[in-house]
Amino acid sequence: MAARVDLDGKPIKPLTICMIGAGGFIGSHLCEKLMAETPHKVLALDVYSDKIKHLLEPAGAHPWSDRIQFHRLNIKNDSRLEGLIKMSDLTINLAAICTPADYNTRPLDTIYSNFIDALPVVKYCSENNKRLIHFSTCEVYGKTIGSFLPKDSPLRKEPEYFVLKEDESPCIFGPIEKQRWSYACAKQLIERLIYAEGAENGLEFTIVRPFNWIGPRMDFIPGIDGPSEGVPRVLACFSNNLLRHEPLKLVDGGVSQRTFVYIKDAIEAVMLMIENPARANGHIFNVGNPNNEVTVRQLAEMMTDVYSKVSGEPSLEEPTVDVSSQEFYGAGYDDSDKRIPDMTIINKQLGWDPKTSLWDLLESTLTYQHRTYAEAMKQAIAKPAAN
Ligand code: NAD
């Protein structure tokens, strides 16, 4: 492997990385990249390993086999955690409950997972002088200022009323009975705690706020590789509807606006953070693609077109159906109206810009979904319900 240098031309030393939640969507892509393109070692911690099985098995068979070790553990109650953090140069914490369907239906688990369970990780990093990259969320911004203006106000079009800036924008959540905000609020408090550890105890930290990263291996398809009654995030929900040839369910008209970034672009940003600590430490970074904005309804329409192209199957005449959030998510649901990340800080510190268009990222993702699930779905549908 050619000598690797950082953004300032200095050689990059091989690192040992303790990656918590390495078996999830983002973790699996990050492990893949670290194994294929760097000399770094990964101690991969998770309760599941299915999504990184291809990197771990067969044992000893890959060029990277001696650089990745899986530790099956739950950070809620495992005394090995501190030792693994101590053995590493850097800890990356991805572990969380992070599916919107859980925020209002399992608010206690959501708060414990995103705040209480992350506390020992922050404490061990701080006490042992270890660097921490912590995954937060764009949901910490909550609603935009513009959403409180009258519907016809021309100010709604002014960027200062909706563009989300790490160091300026407020965090605007709904009332406590809207339990949807339990996730955002827990993430906000852990961000504040990490920031305070940096300010008072010198913790070297970077906080990542992902804005709808999507791609292969995100979540699960209900009834195929996850519970039939489970409700994954929007990409997997819509993929499930497409695979079943049923209309895509649009919650409350699908009017919310989102920006989607391809997982592979986003992973490049994380790599820059890992390998450029002097530029990343002490910062909070938005990581998203402001050019890929659509309403959820437009996303559904685009996914329908892309899926028809990649599968060769005609789309339904009525490709979407409206459902209320009460019916789909239950009581206590609420939503952010619009999420445009400001890219100034990440661009200045790390020179990162997203590249992949929404159409292209949906094409590669839905090609993966079709190849991975279409056959299994056919068989599941053909089986009598009693099986
Ligand atoms: P994911 O659910 O696919 O991965 C999380 C992983 O953490 C899972 O494999 C899970 O088993 C593991 N985990 C959870 N609790 C654990 C525990 N107690 N002990 C051990 N392992 C545990 O989610 P993801 O999309 O990869 O997200 C990773 C992080 O990024 C999360 O903190 C999430 O809040 C944040 N995030 C992601 C997005 C996105 O667009 N994907 C957006 C906003 C925030």
Q: pLDDT at residue 120 above 90?
A: yes
Rounded distance from Cα 96 to ligand 1 centre (Å): 4
Average pLDDT for the chain: 96
Closest to 223 (Cα-Cα) out of 198, 246, 244, 247: 244
Structure tokens at 91: 């800890």
Query: What pLDDT sits at residue 48?
Result: 97
**Ligand 1 atom 13: the closest Cα is on which residue?**
95
Does residue 142 surpass a pLDDT of 90? Answer: yes
210 in contact with ligand 1, CB cutoff 6 A: yes
The full 3-state SS of the chain, as one line of letters, equals CCCCECCCCCECCCCEEEEECCCCHHHHHHHHHHHHHCCCEEEEEECCCHHHHHHHCCCCCCCCHHHEEEEECCCCCCCHHHHHHHCCCEEEECCCCCCHHHHCCCHHHHHHHHCHHHHHHHHHHHHCCCEEEEECCHHHHECCHHHHCCCCCHHHHCHHHCEECCCCCCCECCCCCCCCHHHHHHHHHHHHHHHHHHHHHCCCEEEEEECCEECCCCCCCECCCECCCCCCCHHHHHHHHHHCCCCEEEEHHHCCEEECEEHHHHHHHHHHHHHCHHHHCCEEEEECCCCCEEEHHHHHHHHHHHHHHHHCCCCCCCCEEEECHHHHHCCCCCCCCCCEECCHHHHHHHCCCCCCCHHHHHHHHHHHHHHHHHHHHHHHHHCCCCC
Indicate the top mutation candidate among 33, 79, 98 to test ligand 1's pocket, ranked by most ligand atoms within 8 A of CB: 98
Q: Report the separation in Å between the CA atom of 114 and the middle of ligand 1, taken as the mean of its atom positions.
A: 9
Could you tell me if the CB of 288 is within 6 A of ligand 1?
no
- For position 187, what pLDDT does the model report? 98
Cβ of 75 below 6 Å from ligand 1: yes
pLDDT tens track for 2-19: 679 999 999 999 999 999
Is the model's pLDDT at 1 over the cut of 90?
Answer: no
Mean pLDDT of 362-366: 98
Distance 300 CA to ligand 1 centre (A): 24
Give 16 Cα–ligand 1 centroid separation in angstroms. Answer: 20
Give me ligand 1 centre to Cα 217, in Å. Answer: 12
Q: How confident is residue 383, by pLDDT bands cut at 50, 70 and 90?
A: confident
In this predicted structure, the answer to whether residue 386 has a pLDDT above a threshold of 90 is no
Q: Is 23 in the pocket of ligand 1 (CB under 6 A)?
A: yes
CA of 97 to the centre of ligand 1 (A): 6
Catalytic sites, residue numbers: 183
Lowest-confidence pick of 97-101, 111-115, 208-212, 305-309 = 97-101
Determine whether the shortest distance from the Cβ of 18 to ligand 1 is under 6 A: no
Tell me, what's the pLDDT at 267?
Answer: 98
Q: How confident is the model over 21-49, as a mean pLDDT?
A: 98
Question: What is the C-alpha to C-alpha distance for residues 45 and 83, in angstroms, rounded to an integer?
Answer: 12
pLDDT tens-digit profile of 62-116?
999 999 999 999 999 999 999 999 999 999 999 999 999 999 999 999 999 999 9
Residue 292 Cβ < 6 Å to ligand 1: no
pLDDT over threshold 60, residue 387: no
14-30 mean pLDDT: 98
Q: What is the mean pLDDT of residues 168-197?
A: 97
Nearest to 116 by CA among 184, 190, 182: 190
Residue to substitute in 20, 43, 46 for testing ligand 1 pocket (most ligand atoms within 8 angstroms of CB): 46
pLDDT of residue 3: 79
Given a cut of 90, whether residue 385 has pLDDT beyond it is: no
Q: How far is the CA of 158 from the centre of ligand 1 (A)?
A: 33
Residue 326 near residue 97, CB atoms below 8 Å: no
* Mean pLDDT, range 353-367, rounded to an integer: 98
Tell me which of 26, 138, 262 to substitute to probe ligand 1's pocket, judged by most ligand atoms within 8 Å of the beta carbon: 26
Q: Residue 318 — very low, low, confident or very high, per pLDDT cuts 50/70/90?
A: very high
pLDDT at 384 over 80: no
Of ligand 1's atoms, which has the minimum distance to the CA of residue 218? 3
Atom 28 of ligand 1 has which residue's CA nearest to it? Answer: 94
State the pLDDT at residue 190.
Answer: 98
Q: Is the CB of 26 under 6 A from ligand 1?
A: yes
Ligand 1 near 142 CB (within 6 A): no
Q: Which domains does the chain have, with CATH numbers?
A: 96-376 (3.40.50.720)
